[in-house]
Chain A
Amino acid sequence: MARFQLKSSRVLQAHLAGDTARAITGAMVAYEGDISFKSTGIGGSGGLGAAVKRRMTGESLQLMDMKGSGVVYLAKGAMEIQLVQLAGDKLSVESSSLLALDTDLRTDVAFAGLRGASSGQGLFTTTVSGNGTVALLSDGPMIALEVSPQYPLVVDPDAFIAHRGQVTQTFITDISWRNVIGEDSGEAFSLRFDGSGVVYIQPAER
């Protein structure tokens, strides 16, 4: 299996020894050795079903396969990178926050509820499941917040990156007459998480 390693907080190394790793298209900044890059097509690693869903939902995720032997350096927009290990569980992630993943992991599209309609994040989210490593992008150092049944969590949709575990996500609104006259607090829409798991956010709003 390809090995991911952080070279610095903003640059990810993917070590390849004749095997394959996957990253979003255009994320390579440099490589050493003999590597070829090939688009996986619109389905990504999810097969035809995911391809059709992506077409219909507009939750676009352009991935490429990197194959060969050597080291590939990956980075995007000088954003900070965090590695997340998956052990058979599922990670729901904004497609714009995904940088790279192991080829053993499957990607799919899931309905994320009625958030996004206003936040511009879209109604659908990308899910990654299986065993392996995912590299996430964060504008600033990523923050992992724990959700437990006693302590539900509310985050800004524009700062949300990903969540994992047994978490249900609901979209809450706080609209009153103040919004109408423009005297609102700017936090009219929020994401609420109940259950137990982890929510990852970034210290910046998209």
Chain B
Amino acid sequence: MPGFEMVNSKVVKVRLGSPVIARRGAMLGYTGDVRFVPHGVPGGAGAGGLGGLAGGLARRMAGEHEATMEATGQGEVWYGFRGSHVTIVDIAPGQVMLVEADRLLCHDVTLQASTAFIGQGGMRAAVSGMMSGQGLFTTQLSGQGSAVLLSHGETFSLPIDQSRNVAVDPQAYVAALGQVKVEVSAKVGWREAVGKGSGEAIQLRCTGSGTVFVQASEEKL
């Protein structure tokens, strides 16, 4: 199992044991004998991940896709992306992480990535998902291993359980871990219609149990 380690708030280092999947272009440097091959695309060396070819196609179609590469071999690799802050998240068996593809820097090959449709709430949820810029699809990671998230400004985590009512700004939402359901709730009143709103009309309501990761900014990556 590779171990991820923070070098500073914007760079992670990984000691390769088993391979690591990373966003293409995110490698900053490496030592040792490491090879980088395209990952998850038809014809690529490693058609890993859940669904293989079909999964790759689904991600393409959903627009929930970032070109990835797989680092194999022995050595250490440093990853970073455009000066964004990084957060290391450990995923335990049975937990699911929901994250937008462009928020994912790298993860263990032991984690299965698939594309999930988040418009479960019917047409209304689908439409509000589009309105909030969240898109209709999200990347879902499951299995055991670690993933590294990208954010503008550092992230903080909020615990989710039945006793708490937690809502997150769609632009500040980064990822959710555990058994968390993320729904769009819109409270659009006449004030929003005349442009005098509080700017908080569309929120993501988090229910279930787990953790939600939020960044200190309302900027998309």
Contacts and interface: CB of A to CB of B under 8 A. Distances in A.
A75 B216 contact: yes
A49 interface: no
Contacts of A78: 85, 152-154, 215-217, 219
Interface in A60-80: 62, 64-65, 70, 73, 75-79
A73 B156 contact: yes
Contacts of A10: 153-154, 216-217
Residue of A27, A75, A77 with most partner-chain B CB within 10 A: A75
A118 B192 CA distance: 34
A35 to B, nearest CB: 8
A151 B15 CA distance: 54
Contacts of B169: 26, 28-30
B148 interface: no
Interface residues of A, number: 29
Contact of B197 (A29, A39, A75): A39
Given A10-B216, A78-B217, A32 B165 contact: yes
A70 B137 CA distance: 31
Question: For the side of the interface on B, what is the size category?
Answer: 20 to 34
Contacts of B172: 29-30, 75
B71 interface: no
B216 A37 contact: no
B16 interface: no
Interface in A1-48: 7-8, 10-11, 25-34, 37-39, 41-42
B219 A28 contact: no
A30 to B, nearest CB: 4
A79 B152 CA distance: 10
B166 A29 contact: no
A8 B166 contact: no
B219 A77 contact: yes
A31 B169 CA distance: 9
Contacts of A28: 169, 199-200
B167 interface: yes
A39 B198 contact: yes
Contacts of A64: 198-200
A11 B213 CA distance: 13
Given A37-B200, A78-B152, A29 B165 contact: no
B156 A11 contact: yes
B67 interface: no
25 contacts: A8-B216, A10-B153, A10-B154, A25-B199, A25-B200, A26-B198, A29-B169, A29-B172, A29-B214, A30-B169, A30-B212, A30-B214, A31-B166, A32-B158, A32-B165, A32-B166, A39-B191, A39-B197, A39-B198, A41-B196, A64-B200, A73-B158, A75-B172, A75-B216, A77-B153
Given A28-B200, A64-B198, A75-B215, 17 more contacts: A26-B218, A29-B168, A29-B169, A29-B172, A29-B215, A29-B217, A30-B166, A39-B191, A39-B198, A65-B198, A73-B214, A75-B217, A77-B218, A78-B85, A78-B152, A78-B154, A78-B216
**Which 10 residue pairs spanning A and B have beta carbons closest together?**
A78-B153, A26-B199, A29-B172, A10-B216, A25-B199, A75-B216, A37-B198, A64-B198, A78-B217, A37-B200
